[in-house]
């Protein structure tokens, strides 16, 4: 049975969502008028088993920033993940009366340091959001005033108005934003001119500048290794095709945009919207290159040809397995014949494909992994990334590892390390990959200190970064994809 506090939370957020966005709020109605949005710096090399991403603008903070500014709140974005800043100077210069912070699992330990620093520098309330806060709110220190699980725009606007909300606000449960077209797209003036990734190098496209867009939220599918549904629920929401292409037109006019990367969970989830976007791009003759996160279920050749004609230069696809048994266990809701059909059409129209294969999930056999390697040879993607399954919160496979005690360590961020992951990482990754350096550090530390330190101290230990001047181990900031020979 829900507590009275939980019931009040649900009622408050449900009312907030039913009212819609509070655009044009009068400044006099605001309790907080100056909001700093920030990120923690990147973890040092050799301190994480995760890769760092491709350094594109933090659009989640961008959406919140623009929404707040349309509500009369002045904002600044301090992206330490891109380039560490002097937070004392940033806070002294901007003088925020509220701070919002994005936290994800790779940067969890750096985020803890930033939380301490912010709290020492200002008495402004601090709200934490992002994947780590959404999936593992219990890992966010009590000194953080608010923990926002799920979408942040409406909640941050209400907090700035002084609405009394509980510390933990889970709007993925109490109500998602129903119509994304009511939200403004991020103001790229917050990011333009900074050293982000403005290219499509992965797709071998000579286009600059390339802007990132997030045009949908969540994913309607149920893959067992993915925790996205635990952040958003599986309710898929999207901007309209016309709204997307109108925004592309503004980016072309204002910044000379030459390309778009639809960097979201699944841009192609709704084929009707996908085709509408293609039709509008063709009709308006924008002549831009674009790439997106996709799914190998597009078997309509006409749609693929229309995507190519509209400027699609590459698809990033999670294929994940090469046998029907493994696909079924991973709940991909795909079969090999569908995937084969997709790749045949992609090869025929010379549409580049960049694929990922998640190996070593609970229950996956060595035989199934061998089938996957053979399947890669069969479908011949342009490039592929084989990666070892790591227990990130809170996917179905993550819960399986916990339930079966199939792990040798759980760190303070809640990441679960299994022996299968350790072995698979050594099978798949280059010997000079910094992730293997980290795993060696971790294993050695645990062997030397288990029984001497408390479980809490073992979990919270922060590994020193490697000295890159004294090692050949490379950073995973670099492109990790390997080109498959003999492809188009």
pTM of the entire structure? 0.92
What is the structure's pLDDT at 192? 97
How far apart, in Å, are the Cα atoms of 55 and each of 191, 197, 236, 422?
Answer: 12, 6, 25, 26
Chain segment 295-320, per-residue pLDDT in tens: 999 999 999 999 999 999 999 999 99
Q: Which residues of 19-39 are buried (b: 16+ CB within 10 A; e: fewer)?
A: eebbeebeeeebebbbbbbbb
Q: Tokens standing for 135?
A: 């999936």
pLDDT of 15 over the 80 cut:
no
Ordered domains of the chain (ranges, CATH): 4-173 (3.40.50.2300), 198-316 (3.40.50)
What is the structure's pLDDT at 229? 87
| CA R_g for the chain | 23
Instruction: Count other Cβ atoms within 10 Å, centred on residue 71.
Output: 22
Chain segment 61-120, per-residue pLDDT in tens: 999 999 999 999 999 999 999 999 999 999 999 999 999 999 999 899 999 999 999 999
pLDDT of 7 over the 90 cut:
no
Chain segment 166-200, per-residue pLDDT in tens: 999 987 666 789 999 999 999 999 999 999 999 99
- Rounded CA separation 381/355 (Å): 7
* Partner residues linked to 35 by β-bridges: 75, 98
What is the structure's pLDDT at 13? 54
485 confidence band (pLDDT: 50, 70, 90): very low
pLDDT of 12 over the 70 cut:
no
């Amino acid at each position: 049975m829900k507590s009275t506090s939980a019931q009040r939370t649900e009622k408050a957020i449900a009312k907030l969502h039913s009212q819609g966005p509070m655009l044009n709020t009068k400044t006099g109605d605001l309790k907080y008028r100056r909001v700093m949005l920030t990120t923690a710096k990147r973890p040092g090399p050799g301190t994480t088993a995760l890769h760092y991403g491709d350094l594109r603008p933090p659009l989640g903070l961008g959406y919140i920033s623009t929404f707040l500014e349309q509500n009369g709140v002045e904002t600044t974005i301090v992206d330490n993940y891109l380039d560490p800043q002097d937070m004392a100077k940033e806070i002294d210069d901007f003088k925020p009366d509220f701070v919002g912070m994005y936290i994800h699992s790779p940067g969890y330990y750096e985020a803890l340091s930033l939380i301490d620093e912010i709290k020492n520098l200002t008495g402004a309330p601090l709200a934490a959001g992002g994947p780590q806060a959404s999936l593992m709110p219990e890992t966010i220190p009590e000194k953080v005033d608010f923990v926002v699980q799920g979408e942040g725009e409406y909640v941050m606007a209400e907090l700035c108005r002084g609405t009394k909300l509980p510390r933990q606000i889970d709007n993925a449960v109490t109500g998602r934003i129903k119509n994304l077209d009511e939200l403004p797209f991020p103001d790229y003036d917050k990011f333009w001119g900074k050293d982000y990734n403005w290219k499509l190098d992965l797709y071998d496209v000579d286009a600059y500048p390339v802007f990132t867009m997030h045009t949908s939220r969540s994913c309607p599918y149920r893959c067992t290794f993915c925790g996205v549904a635990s952040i958003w629920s599986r309710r898929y929401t999207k901007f309209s095709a016309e709204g997307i292409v109108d925004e592309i037109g503004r980016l072309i006019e204002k910044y000379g945009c030459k390309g778009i990367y639809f960097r979201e969970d699944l841009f192609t989830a709704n084929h009707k919207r996908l085709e509408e976007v293609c039709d509008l791009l063709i009709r308006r003759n924008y002549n831009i290159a674009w790439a997106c996160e996709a799914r190998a279920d597009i078997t309509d050749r006409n749609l693929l040809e229309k995507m190519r004609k509209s400027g699609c230069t590459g698809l990033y696809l999670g294929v994940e397995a090469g046998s029907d048994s493994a696909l079924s266990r991973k709940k991909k809701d795909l079969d090999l014949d569908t995937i084969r059909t997709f790749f045949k059409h992609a090869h025929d129209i010379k549409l580049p494909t960049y694929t990922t294969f998640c190996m070593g999930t609970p229950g996956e056999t060595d035989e199934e992994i061998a089938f996957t390697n053979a399947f890669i040879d069969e479908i011949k993607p342009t490039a592929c990334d084989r990666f070892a399954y790591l227990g990130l919160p809170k996917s179905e496979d993550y819960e399986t590892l916990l339930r079966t005690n199939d792990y040798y360590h759980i760190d303070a961020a809640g990441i679960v390390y299994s022996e299968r992951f350790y072995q698979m990482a050594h099978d798949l990754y280059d010997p000079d990959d910094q992730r293997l350096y980290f795993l060696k550090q971790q294993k050695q530390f645990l062997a030397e200190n288990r029984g001497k330190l408390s479980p809490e101290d073992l979990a919270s230990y922060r590994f020193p970064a490697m000295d890159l001047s004294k090692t050949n181990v490379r950073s995973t900031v670099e492109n990790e994809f390997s080109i498959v020979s003999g492809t188009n």
